[in-house]
Amino acid sequence: MVDHRPRIAIVARFAESTSATRYEAIVTARRLAEGVWAAGGEPLTFLAVPESNWTERLDGIDGVLLPGGADVDPSNYGQAPLTDELYGMDIMQDKVDIELIHHTLSVGLPMLAICRGMQITNVALGGTLTQHMEKPHLHHVAPVTVDSHANELGLSGLTLNASCYHHQAIDKLAEGLTVIARAAEGHIEAVKIASAGWAFGVQWHPEDNYDTEPGQLEIFKRFVREANF
């Protein structure tokens, strides 16, 4: 067991500008960092650098969090863009995420993948995405029931209110992912990820309501607890 707050690496997302910077920025959502902190972790933002030596960069890191963000470039799963709704794509960001995913799963660091994080994990392991849902879940809050592995995910109950903001979803499921929850419309909302360590992905944003929905904080707490060993 570590003798400090478990250090959680959050790969940064790119922003064209922010109110606090004059130029382009790297960002971590404040609510996401606060959710990790509330669960007992130390959130650390990592610059996305391709072909990183992740063994070296993650020395002293206890867990990896893949956050939400812009769309995954369809070229990563062998498709051309099929919709004008795609936004914010950055092939370098995709490359870094994919490299980090493969490293994290191979060494067994605890990993939590959120929204885009779950989608890019599916792509990294050979799956595909629906590029634009018929009915996107934007500002969408609805009950989600976890059908299996709820205890391993840290949940004391099976159903929780999930706050979603996405217009893409998993299409072809990658080998190594096990579906553990679906939305009412049928698309995948949570997966268990095959790994040498604890690894799960959720399509919703647990950071949105971690302070009002107990189940969301339970997920963060279980993630941080796994990172504490």
Active site residues: 115, 205, 207
Among residues 110, 106, 115, the alpha carbon closest in space to that of 88 is found at 115
CB 115 within 8 A of CB 204: yes
Helix (H, G, I), strand (E, B), or coil: what is residue 46? strand
Scan for tokens 């996405």, then name that residue.
Answer: 166
Among residues 53, 126, 139, 125, the alpha carbon closest in space to that of 96 is found at 53
Helix (H, G, I), strand (E, B), or coil: what is residue 215? helix
CB 125 within 8 A of CB 173: no
